[in-house]
Amino acid sequence: MQSVEVAASWPVGNVAVAVVTPDGVAGSLGDQQRVFPLASVTKLLTSYAVLVAVEEGAVEWDQPAGPEGSTVRHLIAHTAGYAFDEAEVQAAPGTRRIYSNAGFDVLASFVGEACEMPFATYLHEAVFAPLGMSSSALTGSAGAGAESCAADLALFAAELLSPRLVSAELVAEATSVVFPGLNGVLPGYGMQKPNDWGLGFEIRDSKSPHWTGLSFSPRTFGHFGQSGTFLWVDPEISAACVALTDLRFGPWAVEAWTPFSDGVRAELVSRRA
């Protein structure tokens, strides 16, 4: 894909990109096997393991977890009330969208206990192993401590497009807005009113500014990471894109990612016209 080549001009040392459709990888750039830290793209992998646990009946969405009045659903949707990086309660559950790494760590511990194994082990057995993601591992926080390569994340993106580890209905639920209407800060992009989120998946909706393209459907979901990484899925065109870099998120990413993603989407749409 010609649009993918634009990423070669980004001011980074190393970059790997993969565009995924139901037919497979439609375009790529860079070393697909190079392992990068994912930062908060980790949350997509953690969330998918939670979906597996829910599908297996090990945990339930409305099971109490976290602070008083909070549930598994609150934790995964950033509405349990925890602060960003510590388990300090700043709001009553369900009243604010406070993006929280701490909440994801509490969530992972809860799921690990329910499944009677460390969460990193469960993530490997529930997601990485069955999808063949042999270069992926959770080496730190369940909210921001995974590492992976573009080839592995392309396999994960394909799973999001056509689920086989969990039901399509469960993925549809996870990628729809939960606790609608809550305002909150989208890290790196400021206050969003509302700051819509699914069950671990950030929902594009009408957010502006946003890290995906201007042309993307409101149903687009995914996540970006402060390590200079992102993964988006636009269900309207049945396509996904993974981008991994070795330069931390900053003004360069704000400037580069949106036109890049718009270009990728436009080329995919034009191919099908």
Strand partners, 138: 146
Predicted pLDDT of residue 272: 83
Predicted pLDDT of residue 273: 74
Cα separation, 253 vs 259, in Å, equals 10
- pTM here is 0.97
Closest CA to 240 of 5, 23, 13: 23
Q: Is 214 in contact with 206 (CB distance < 8 Å)? A: no
Distances (CA, A) of 149 to 124, 163, 228: 15, 20, 13
Predicted pLDDT of residue 26: 97
Q: 């790494």: which residue's tokens?
A: 101
Predicted pLDDT of residue 218: 97
Which DSSP letter does residue 8 get? G
Cα separation, 93 vs 70, in Å, equals 5
Q: 């969405």: which residue's tokens?
A: 61
Taking the domain 2-272, which CATH number applies? 3.40.710.10
Predicted pLDDT of residue 1: 95
Q: Locate the domains of the chain by residue range.
A: 2-272
**Mean pLDDT by 10-residue block, N- to C-terminus, for the chain (273 residues)?**
97 98 97 98 98 98 97 98 94 96 98 97 98 98 98 98 98 97 93 96 95 97 98 98 98 97 97 82
